[in-house]
Amino acid sequence: MELNTLLFSVENGIATIIINRPDKMNALNKDVIADLSSAFDEVYSNKEIKSVILTGAGQKAFVAGADITEFIDLDKTGGTQIARVGQENVFNKIENCPKPVVAAVNGFALGGGCELAMCCHFRIASENAKFGQPEVNLGLIPGYGGTQRLTQLVGKGRAMELCMTAQVANANEALAMGLVNHVTTLDSLIDKSKEILTTINTKSPMALSKVIACINKTGSADGFETEIKEFGECFGTLEMKEGVSAFLEKRKANFG
């Protein structure tokens, strides 16, 4: 796998993916989108990887949005294509990743950056993080799923206000509205993310993938039915046998 815009490493089952264009605030150009798609293909297939931290290089930005310099000459077809390719190849791929993905938001998460953080399974922010959907300033709207995921995370009224005003929320405001789960110092952001993932990595990978699949169905017509099906599929698996046996034998489960 050749990645030009990302740093990718794996340690103790945790893949750390760093978007590495700090001089451009880690803005998402076509190369970053292509690399993120490849990186998550690797996450899906590499058995050594149990979970993922996604973050930005430097101390200022997670991702300050889609790369605005690529927009000026696009027409309707080009704009539609950017949103479709991004959503299908990256944002939906991350959201539906069967392994837990945490966004470690280390600064500006604006536009596509906020959308990227929101397609991760949950978010941890450093104190300097800033979140917003400022696309209306550019005569645009969110195109990487922001109108949908922001509404799911913070509710319709707050999503409307954030997308209409282009206002930026600081880390504590994001915490208060449920956009992030924790706020830490910038220095401890990755350690805090690793600490949570180290706990998660002791759980059944099969069950974790089913939690993700079911929670991602929230609000859809077959959400409850999906849960019944996924719950049923746990039975008879080696991981379910190990988990239940460990409880009955008063020992810690070992899911390998």
In the complex, the residues that contact ligand COA under the rule CB under 6 A are 24-25, 27, 64-69, 108, 110-112, 134-135, 138, 140
Q: For residues 54 and 69, give the distance between their C-alpha atoms in angstroms, rounded to a whole number.
A: 24
CB closer to ligand COA, 170 vs 198: 170
Q: Which residue type is seen at 103?
A: A
> Minimum distance from CB of 78 to ligand COA (Å)?
14
**Using an 8 Å Cβ cutoff, are 212 and 245 in contact?**
no
CB closer to ligand COA, 15 vs 163: 163
Choose, from 95, 135, 230, 249, the residue flagged as catalytic: 135
Please spell the DSSP secondary structure of 125-184, one letter per residue: EETT-EEE-GGGGGT----SSHHHHHHHHH-HHHHHHHHHH-PPEEHHHHHHTTS-SEEE
> Minimum distance from CB of 69 to ligand COA (Å)?
5
> Minimum distance from CB of 23 to ligand COA (Å)?
6
CB closer to ligand COA, 85 vs 240: 85
Q: For residues 138 and 235, give the distance between their C-alpha atoms in angstroms, rounded to a whole number.
A: 51
- Residue 135 appears among annotated catalytic residues: yes
Choose, from 95, 115, 195, 230, the residue flagged as catalytic: 115
CB closer to ligand COA, 69 vs 254: 69
> Minimum distance from CB of 112 to ligand COA (Å)?
6
- What's the length of the chain? 256
Q: Each residue of 208-231: b (16+ CB within 10 Å) or e?
A: bbbbbebeebeeeeeeeebbeebe
**26 vs 12, 23, 78, 171, CA distance in Å?**
26, 7, 22, 19
CB closer to ligand COA, 129 vs 189: 129
> Minimum distance from CB of 173 to ligand COA (Å)?
16
Catalytic residues: 115, 135
